[in-house]
């Protein structure tokens, strides 16, 4: 005898489970209704497993919106109360070159030494591939035509150098090291650019709930310049008319308390006109990025 598991039957099984009936009693009821034990058991297991998977994995878009950080949410930030000129980042005094309140953008000098920049490029070079961006349609990754650079990700804490830079950034912006994604290195050749975008994940994209399961939203970015292209390659913030010069060892930090264009954190990598450009980006999440 062939018995079909209809959507109505699935719904009924889930309702029984939610109402607190034991699987044994649901099985008994199904067998009374004419189901063979073997088929009823399979239908029950399959339906309840699927229900638990769906419930556990992906929250609804509305739930994601409610769970997103909002206006005034705590975000990474530098403490400039002691000095508007320098910040103690633990193992290094970092220069503050420009500090903007809204949007929160801080241009930093001397975040990395020349040796650290060179060592990051050397460690990244053998692992470079055409850059992927997180695909918010699906939660996967894909080659993005707006990003003509090549790139790689370091694993968090993977070497002494990476640990040192990660600890420095965590101290600098007062944000737990565990909330940082693995550092990304990008390499732009002449003509390559990164068109203006937001670094947060768009809550309206279907893949975003899956992405947010690991650490929540992005709430801050640190772009570090590892070398100096001969011409072009600044980091632009079109909404506020700011362009940050790519100077070796310098960096730009910005934060965003909600995943909205109202943060005015639209930014891009202007085309490199001559020479190469190397940057390292650290994205900071709301919670531990495990």
Residues that bind Zn ion (CB under 5 A): 199
Judge contact between 280 and 180, C-beta under 8 A. Answer: no
Interface with ligand PD2 (CB under 6 A), residue from 223, 224, 226, 242: 223
Nearest to 89 by CA among 118, 59, 116: 116
Nearest to 253 by CA among 123, 79, 130: 79
Q: Tell me the backbone φ, ψ of residue 10, rounded to 5 degrees.
A: -55, -45
Judge contact between 165 and 234, C-beta under 8 A. Answer: no
- Tokens for 128? 């470079």
* 256 near ligand PD2 (CB under 6 A): no
Interface with ligand PD2 (CB under 6 A), residue from 232, 281, 285, 289: 281
* Shortest distance (Å) from residue 97 CB to ligand PD2: 16
Interface with ligand PD2 (CB under 6 A), residue from 235, 255, 263, 265: 235
Residue 224 burial (C-beta neighbours within 10 Å; 0-12, 13-18, 19+): buried
Judge contact between 47 and 10, C-beta under 8 A. Answer: yes
* Shortest distance (Å) from residue 253 CB to ligand PD2: 12
The answer for residues whose C-beta is within 8 angstroms of residue 12's C-beta and 6 or more apart is none
Binding mask 109-148 for ligand PD2 (x = CB under 6 A): ----------------------------------------
**Residue nearest ligand PD2, Cβ-based:** 269
Name the segment binding ligand PD2 (CB under 6 A); options: 32-40, 53-61, 210-218, 263-271: 263-271
* Cβ-based nearer residue to ligand PD2, 55 or 214: 214
* Shortest distance (Å) from residue 269 CB to ligand PD2: 3
* 242 near ligand PD2 (CB under 6 A): no
- Tokens for 28? 């008994």
CA torsion 142-146-150-153 (nearest 10°) is -60
Judge contact between 113 and 99, C-beta under 8 A. Answer: no
Interface with ligand PD2 (CB under 6 A), residue from 26, 107, 219, 279: 279
Rounded-to-integer distance, Cα 69 and Cα 76, Å: 12
* Shortest distance (Å) from residue 193 CB to ligand PD2: 9
* Cβ-based nearer residue to ligand PD2, 249 or 269: 269
Binding residue count for ligand PD2, defined by CB under 6 A: 11
If you search the block for the tokens 């650490």, which residue do you land on? 215
30 preceded by cis ω (within 30°)? no
If you search the block for the tokens 């950034």, which residue do you land on? 169
What residues from 202 to 221 belong to the interface with ligand PD2 (CB under 6 A)? 221
* 250 near ligand PD2 (CB under 6 A): no
* Cβ-based nearer residue to ligand PD2, 58 or 286: 286
Binding site for ligand PD2 (CB under 6 A): 186, 194, 199, 221, 223, 235, 267-269, 279, 281
């Amino acid at each position: 005898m062939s018995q079909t598991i209809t959507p109505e039957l699935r719904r009924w099984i889930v309702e029984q489970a939610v109402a607190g009936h034991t699987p044994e009693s649901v099985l008994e009821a199904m067998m009374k209704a004419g189901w063979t034990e073997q088929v009823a058991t399979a239908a029950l297991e399959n339906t309840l497993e699927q229900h638990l998977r769906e419930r556990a994995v992906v929250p609804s878009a509305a739930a994601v919106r409610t769970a997103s950080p909002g206006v005034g949410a705590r975000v990474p930030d530098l403490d400039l109360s002691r000095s508007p000129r320098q910040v103690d980042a633990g193992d290094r005094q970092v220069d503050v070159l420009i500090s903007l309140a809204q949007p929160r953008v801080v241009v930093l000098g001397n975040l990395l030494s020349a040796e650290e920049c060179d060592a990051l490029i050397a460690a990244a070079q053998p692992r470079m591939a055409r850059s992927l961006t997180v695909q918010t349609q699906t939660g996967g990754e894909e080659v993005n035509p707006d990003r003509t650079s090549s790139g790689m990700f370091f694993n968090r804490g993977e070497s002494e150098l990476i640990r040192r830079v990660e600890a420095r950034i965590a101290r600098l912006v007062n944000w737990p090291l565990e909330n940082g994604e693995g550092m990304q290195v990008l390499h732009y050749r002449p003509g390559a650019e990164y068109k203006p975008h937001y670094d947060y994940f768009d809550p309206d994209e279907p893949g975003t709930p899956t992405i947010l399961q690991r650490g929540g939203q992005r709430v801050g970015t640190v772009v570090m310049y590892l070398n100096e292209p001969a011409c072009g390659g600044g980091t632009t913030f079109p909404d506020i008319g700011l362009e940050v010069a790519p100077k070796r060892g310098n960096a730009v930090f910005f934060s965003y308390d909600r995943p909205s264009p109202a943060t005015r954190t639209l930014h891009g990598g202007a085309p490199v006109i001559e020479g190469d450009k190397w940057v390292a980006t650290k994205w900071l999440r709301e919670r531990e990025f495990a």
